[in-house]
Amino acid sequence: MRSLATYIGFRYSADRSGNQLVSFLSRLSMFGLILGVALLVVVLSVMNGFDREMRNRILALVPHITLQPWSSEEMDWQQLQQDVERHPEVVATAPFVQGNAMLIKGGEVEPSLFFGIDPGAEKAVSRIHEYVDLDILKADSKDLILGKALAERLGLSAGDRATLGVPQTDGRQNVRFVQMNVAALVATGTELDQQLMLMHIDVARSLFAKAPPISLRVSVDDVFASPQIAWELASVHGRDYMMRDWSQQFGNMYHAIQMSRKLVVIMLLAVVAVAVFNVVSTLVMVVNDKRADIGILRSQGASQGDILRIFLTYGAVIGAVGASAGGIIGVLMALGVSDLVAAIENLFGLKLLQSDVYPINYLPSDVRIPDVVMVCATAYVMSLLATIYPAWRASRMAPAEALRSS
């Protein structure tokens, strides 16, 4: 009788010849479950995409830790470099200098922060060389690499010339103006495009009457251990050098992404829960619609457990189909959501994600199978739990009462 009860449960779930209202509500509850699961998979994939891009793109382009002298006097940065590289978690270091400047083209002025780098050493601490050839920066030529968005605001393109106004740090209130060549533009798809200005470290130091001391960029093995490593380095070199790590600039944004992910998951789980309660309502109506069948089965010797199993199977089928179909549709939507958003932007001439507002200027997606399995399993278990009350109610129905009320 156990296998027969399971078979009847499957038949009920596939039967469309009975009460049309009940059949419609059954399909509607399944559709609601599919939609809720699909949306949850898509949103989780987008949040995972932001997390991935934060790790692999933004944090790969900015220094994990910087050491900058407190004093404006020249320091022995080579000795500092040797000391820092002895730390077991440090992967590589690179010298740099930075300064404030005004980039001028025609009547347009953009204040910015420029960095003087060693092109060879920079490749070890940053992946910026994957977007632009750093070797075009020479010590004997006044070449610039600009972020694409910064260049566009001034109407600059590769090969143009622009004026760089550099405030001097020698105690006199004056600005030095230098003609620079825009050697290349870099488009990383991140907010760095709004402000990036690179030149050779020797050129950067020559822009000042008194050359600024050299600072150090540090790349570490575990980027999320950067605050702890910076603290350890500060305990040794903090008297002469100021330590900064990436979390001071991007930490709030990263934590906001993680918090948003959790909040959105909770909200969409609530949507799935509503869809599951629709399953409860549907099963209650199915039980009322099948009173005659219940009475006949009970009179033919079916036990309460058999009736319970019939309607649990019915709910399990709805949950399994809804969760699995929602998972498949959600994965397909997540795989295409980046292209879909890009197509909408191109079609209507919009830019939904601006890199001066968001950390990246496109919608990323990263489908992770464990997340999909977790969402589908949660929806299925919730559906299964939701069927217990209607199935129990059906199993407690007396044969005579079922036949009389039918």
pLDDT computed for residue 19 by the predictor: 61
pLDDT computed for residue 399 by the predictor: 63
Q: Is 299 within the bounds of a domain? A: yes
User: Do 224 and 258 belong together in one domain?
Assistant: no
- Residue at a domain's end among 212, 245, 278: 245
pLDDT computed for residue 2 by the predictor: 56
Q: Please tell me which residue, 316 or 250, carries the higher pLDDT value.
A: 316
Q: Is 170 within the bounds of a domain? A: yes
Q: How many CA atoms lie within 13 A of 185 on its CB side?
A: 18
- Residue at a domain's end among 190, 221, 245: 245
User: Do 304 and 170 belong together in one domain?
Assistant: no
Q: Report pLDDT digits (tens) over 25-76.
A: 777 878 888 888 898 888 888 888 887 877 777 777 788 888 888 877 777 8
Q: Is 167 within the bounds of a domain? A: yes
pLDDT computed for residue 360 by the predictor: 67
pLDDT(172) > 80? no
Q: Please tell me which residue, 278 or 18, carries the higher pLDDT value.
A: 278
pLDDT(9) > 70? no
**Averaging pLDDT over each range in 3-7, 18-22, 39-43, which range is the top one?**
39-43
107, 246 contact by CB (below 8 A): no
Q: Please tell me which residue, 405 or 138, carries the higher pLDDT value.
A: 138
User: Do 236 and 323 belong together in one domain?
Assistant: no
Q: What is the mean pLDDT of residues 366-379?
A: 89
* Domain span holding position 217: 70-245
Q: What is the mean pLDDT of residues 102-124?
A: 87
User: Do 75 and 48 belong together in one domain?
Assistant: no
Q: Is 65 within the bounds of a domain? A: no
Q: What is the mean pLDDT of residues 393-400?
A: 70
User: Do 137 and 233 belong together in one domain?
Assistant: yes
Q: Report pLDDT digits (tens) over 83-105.
A: 888 889 999 999 999 888 888 88
User: Do 203 and 86 belong together in one domain?
Assistant: yes
- Residue at a domain's end among 214, 245, 276: 245
Q: Is 160 within the bounds of a domain? A: yes
**CA 366, 370, 372: angle at the middle one, nearest 5?**
70
User: Do 302 and 360 belong together in one domain?
Assistant: yes
User: Do 75 and 21 belong together in one domain?
Assistant: no
Q: Please tell me which residue, 307 or 68, carries the higher pLDDT value.
A: 68
Kindly report the number of other CB atoms within 10 A of residue 204's CB atom. 25
pLDDT computed for residue 40 by the predictor: 86
pLDDT(296) > 90? no
Q: Please tell me which residue, 200 or 387, carries the higher pLDDT value.
A: 200
User: Do 76 and 195 belong together in one domain?
Assistant: yes
What percentage of the chain has pLDDT greater than the value 90?
9
Confidence label for 170 from pLDDT (cuts 50, 70 and 90): low
Q: What is the mean pLDDT of residues 267-278?
A: 76
pLDDT(3) > 80? no
pLDDT computed for residue 235 by the predictor: 86
Cα dihedral across residues 330, 336, 342, 345: positive or negative = negative
Q: Is 64 within the bounds of a domain? A: no
pLDDT computed for residue 325 by the predictor: 92
Averaged pLDDT of the chain? 81
Q: Is 63 within the bounds of a domain? A: no
Q: What is the mean pLDDT of residues 316-336?
A: 89
Q: Is 286 within the bounds of a domain? A: yes
**Averaging pLDDT over each range in 222-226, 271-275, 398-402, which range is the top one?**
222-226
User: Do 280 and 308 belong together in one domain?
Assistant: yes
**CA 314, 318, 319: angle at the middle one, nearest 5?**
115
User: Do 81 and 202 belong together in one domain?
Assistant: yes
Split into its structural domains, the chain has a count of 2
pLDDT computed for residue 71 by the predictor: 79
User: Do 233 and 365 belong together in one domain?
Assistant: no
Confidence label for 327 from pLDDT (cuts 50, 70 and 90): very high
Lowest mean pLDDT among 33-37, 75-79, 159-163, 268-272: 268-272
pLDDT computed for residue 144 by the predictor: 92
Confidence label for 331 from pLDDT (cuts 50, 70 and 90): very high
Q: Report pLDDT digits (tens) over 202-238.
A: 998 888 878 888 889 998 888 888 888 889 888 888 7
pLDDT(145) > 60? yes
